[in-house]
Structure 1
């Protein structure tokens, strides 16, 4: 065909495809979608849309929080309309490309805010006056705010998107429930109606709050609280919703405070407790000789000689001589002489002389003199004098003097003085003085002085005295002893063992491959020598142990070690190339003088069956012998060598030899 016409035809095809693509995209985007009101993870919502539209969605999962739920509803609406209303608040766009709808950040948005703020004014519906001391709870975050003397509140969340299920309560006003999705900063005005206290207490919470109702965190079971707060006081508080703001408080004990009988309802701006204090919360600074106890949130700084105990969330820093205990979300730092205990999500730092215990997810640093315990995963850095323990997927680094252990998936590094253990899969690096253990898939490296063990598939590198990979290894093992199931890569060590090689070969003094070379050869060489060879390893690189004895005097013998390769050349035919280095013994005294023999040759093999064959070939031989040890014996095993040479006391000679024999065992796959 004329090249010009071929170019014209190609251009026409491109134009047609370019014209059809928008029509195809438009057809897809007009498909009707029907979805009941749904609150679910982003991936689950995309799956539902994909099933109805018959189309695949592609997006970067890192743009959407794994634990966040999104709301969507569609009433027989076009897919384009559903996507516009769903993605626009998240500052995301979409485009049809080929057989996928690509979701990506809106290029018009130069920078996505890392935080969202909700603020507002809560007023009496009849008078319009601002209401002070109204508690604002969220089912996940706990008490997020309370109104000031003018009825105003504000709270900032360090996330680009926040879903809030809010409950407003306080005084003799009816509880109010709001659902708000923050994709940008937002200010709201709320009216609250009065009602009889008895009627208010009889209300039933909404169904979705049955398991996570934002009630007061129960502190009364803690021993330290029982010491300073009477049982009568805690029972009275359970029935009280009224909070007041106090700019300043000073006291000796909870019962002896400048707030008098209202200390447990007071939100203090500055609080100074000579021994111990008990308050609703802190918005500023609190200092205590022994203990600071707050029913709800602490925003600012707490310092105590013994302990700080918070029933709600912490935004700021807690410092205690013995321990800090928080039952809500933490954004900031906990520092204690002995231990820190946290129950919910944390973004910040935990530092303790003995140990840190965190039951929620953490983003940040845990540092302890003895141990760090994390039960819900997270990301960051753990540093401990003895051990680090994590449960839940963890992304980051663990450093300890003795032990690091992750019970679930981990992405990152483990560095330990003795042992690293990952009970699930690992993407990263393990370094230990004694041993590394990974129980499932490993994508990375293990380095230790004694042993590396991986019980699942592995892609990477193992370096140790002994290495063990119990399933498929795609990479390299380096050690004195290497053991693997299936390998695509190599082993470098004194002893190597593998069930199967799918690619690559082992390098070692002795290599054993279950499906590889494993055979005995019995052969006859000219000059009347009978030889026995044992070959083991991989077909393309095997080890050779060889022994030969002269049939002339039955006293002259050779023994040696070598390497070889036997690639197939046609069906049952293969060609071996072997090199061996041997010691020659001509009397009962072993190794009393220099007498060495090197052999290099080719051998044609015919495998009659996989376990039996015959062969024939030739070798070139070079012998070096010390004439001081000959004692009248010939200087060469060959009667008429091709050449001889003497330098000082060493005589060398070379010759060709031929051999033939039988093989018992396999050459390998």
Structure 2
């Protein structure tokens, strides 16, 4: 009985409010191709001041207790659960769960869960879970989980998990896990794990970076650039008699993955390492490479103790034929170990040294070296 009285009271209140609004809106104008009203109130469609004709009107101010379905907004709209507009929205929208606009949107959208714009979006979007725009977007889209832009993006995308842009991006993508841009990028991609793009003019920063081409710098553990820098080397040095090295990225900054071996009478030394490097053109046939690597040195089997070598190399290469180079150069090496050799903390891996000191059971040796090899 009480529920029936409550529903009746709500309907009566809406009818009275409708009369007041209609009286106020006698001088309504036409805006954005729709009749313009100063104000509308909806409990839940069609229980509102515009009734079943709500989509025919664009409202300067809109208030939806649970949800509203209207023709557009010119200044501001507030909804307890959802705001849904069939036309253009200008100004601000705030909803407890979702804002969905099928026209152009210019202004600010804030939703507890989800924002969607079918045509162009120009402004700022903030959603607890997801922003979805199916056309061009300009401004800022920030969400708790994901942003999806099915057109070009000019501005910033920020999210906790992933950003996806189907068109070109001019600005920045910042995500906790992944950024994907199916078009070209002029700006920045910053992700906790992976960035994927076509042509990049700017910066990629993630654990893994993937692109067709990069005019800038990809920074990550591994950067795969289809039209970038891909080299394979076979070399020898006094530290490790045989080395194989793969380099990938761009000339300005490439990743180095290397492995080496050094057989001796009693111990078979072998290494795995990682590093970064850059290549500079000296002439049409000569290049200068600066590489920094760190390698874990194993003795016979995998060595769990501290046994690492850091190497700084400067190599000059000469192109013998297309895709085949000879290189050589000096190196500066630092070797640190806590493996004991008799009574001392040391081992026989280092061939010579100009520095030899032990700090807190860690022996450090420094020495100069030389390396040479072939690059493909």
Shorter-chain TM-score tier: 0.7 to 0.9
1:570 equivalent in structure 2: 283
2:78 to 357, 361, 367: 367
> What is the aligned partner in structure 2 of residue 520 from structure 1?
232
Contact 1:635 1:651 in 2 (8 A): no
Q: Which residue of 1 aligns with 2:314?
A: 602
The answer (yes or no) to whether the contact 2:62–2:73 under 8 Å persists in 1 is no
| CA 423–607 in structure 1, closer or farther in 2 if over 3 Å, else same | farther
Deviations 1:285-308 (A, max 9, x none): xx956746999x92239xxxxxxx
Q: Matches of residues 455-494 of structure 1 in structure 2 within 5 Å?
A: 455-464=166-175, 465-479=177-191, 480-494=193-207
Tell me the equivalent position of 1:585. 298
**CA gap 1:510/1:428 in 2 versus in 1, 3 angstroms:** same
Asked if the contact 1:517–1:536 (Cα under 8 Å) also holds between the matched residues in 2, the reply is yes
Q: Following the alignment from structure 2 to structure 1, what is the Cα–Cα distance between the partners of residues 342 and 155?
A: 57
Cα distance in 2 for partners of 1:417, 1:379 equals 22
Q: How far 1:579 sits from its partner (Å)?
A: 0.5
1:589 shift after superposition: 4.5
TM-score w.r.t. structure 2 length? 0.86
Deviations 1:235-293 (A, max 9, x none): xxxxxxxxxxxxxxxxxxxxxxxxxxxxxxxxxxxxxxxx9xxxxxxxxxxx9567469
Q: Is the 8 A contact 1:530 1:551 kept in 2?
A: no
Aligned residues of 1:457 and 1:472 also touching (Cα < 8 A):
yes
User: Once the 2 structures are TM-superposed, how far is the Cα of residue 378 of structure 1 from its aligned partner?
Assistant: 2.9
Cα offset, 1:532, TM superposition: 1.0
1:345–1:614 CA distance, 2 compared to 1 (3 A): farther
Equivalent position of 1:388 in the other structure: 99
Do the aligned partners of 1:517 and 1:542 also contact (CA within 8 Å) in 2?
yes
Measured after TM superposition, the shift of residue 650 of structure 1 is 2.3
> Residues 391 and 384 from structure 1, CA distance in 2 versus in 1: closer, same or farther, beyond 3 angstroms?
same
Query: Is residue 400 from structure 1 mapped to residue 111 from structure 2 by the alignment?
Result: yes
Tell me whether 1:416 sits opposite 2:127 in the alignment.
Answer: yes
How do 1:176-191 residues align onto structure 2 when only pairs under 5 Å count? none
Question: In structure 2, what is the Cα distance between the partners aligned to 1:289 and 1:353?
Answer: 13
Q: What is the distance in 2 between the residues matched to 1:581 and 1:641?
A: 18
Give 3-state SS (helix, strand or coil) of 2:207's partner.
strand
Q: Distance in 1 between matches of 2:121 and 2:66?
A: 24
Helix, strand or coil at the partner of 1:624: strand
1:329 aligns with 2:35: yes
What CA distance in whole angstroms lies between the structure 1 residues aligned with 2:18 and 2:292?
A: 81
Equivalent-residue separation in structure 2 for 1:420 and 1:396 (angstroms): 14
Change (3 A) 1:630 1:549: farther
Q: Secondary structure at the match of 1:644?
A: strand
Unaligned runs of 5+ in 1: 1-274, 276-286, 302-311, 316-327, 665-669
Question: Alignment partner of 1:471: what SS?
Answer: coil
For 1:94-109, list aligned pairs within 5 A.
none
Which 5+ residue runs of structure 2 have no aligned equivalent? 1-7
For residues 60-139 of structure 1, what are the structure 2 equivalents within 5 Å?
A: none
Structure label with greater radius of gyration: 1
Deviation string 1:431-482 (CA, Å, 9 cap, x unpaired) is 1111001111111111111100111111111111100111111111111211
Change (3 A) 1:425 1:534: same
CA distance in 1: counterparts of 2:369 and 2:159, whole angstroms: 48
Among residues 291, 309, 332, which one is paired with 1:620 in the alignment? 332
- Pick the aligned partner of 1:425 from 122, 136, 139: 136
- Give the drift of 1:609: 4.8
Q: Secondary structure at 2:198's aligned position in 1? A: strand
How many residue pairs get aligned? The number is 354
TM-superposition CA deviations, 1:84-121 (whole Å, max 9, x none): xxxxxxxxxxxxxxxxxxxxxxxxxxxxxxxxxxxxxx
Q: Contact 2:337 / 2:346 at 8 angstroms: preserved in 1?
A: no
Provide the secondary structure at the position in 1 that maps to 2:232.
strand
CA distance in 1, matches of 2:149, 2:322: 37
Greater strand fraction, Structure 1 or Structure 2:
2
3-state DSSP class of the match of 2:340? helix
Equivalent residues of 1:354, 1:371 under 8 A apart: yes
Q: Distance in 1 between matches of 2:343 and 2:375?
A: 37
Q: 1:404 to 1:497 in 2, by over 3 A?
A: same
1:310-345 C-alpha deviation (Å, 9 max, x unpaired): xx7769xxxxxxxxxxxx734322123223453445
Q: Which has the higher contact order (CA 8 A, sep 6+)?
A: 2
CA distance in 2, matches of 1:470, 1:609: 36
What is the distance in 2 between the residues matched to 1:548 and 1:467?
Answer: 35
1:347 Cα offset (Å): 4.4
The aligned residue for residue 453 of structure 1 is: 164
Q: Kindly indicate which of the two structures has a greater share of residues assigned to helix.
A: 1
8 Å CA contact retained: 2:103, 2:118: yes
Aligned match of 1:558: 271
**Aligned match for 1:437, one of 142, 148, 152:** 148
RMSD: 2.8
Shift in CA distance, 354/289, structure 1 to aligned 2, threshold 3 Å: closer
User: Within 2, Cα distance between the matches of 1:414 and 1:596?
Assistant: 49
Q: Is the 8 A contact 1:313 1:330 kept in 2?
A: no
Secondary structure at 2:268 match in 1? coil
What is aligned with 1:211?
none
Tell me the distance in 2 between the aligned counterparts of 1:423 and 1:637.
61
Q: Deviation per CA, 1:176-204, whole angstroms, max 9, x where unpaired?
A: xxxxxxxxxxxxxxxxxxxxxxxxxxxxx
Q: 1:629 to 1:513 in 2, by over 3 A?
A: farther
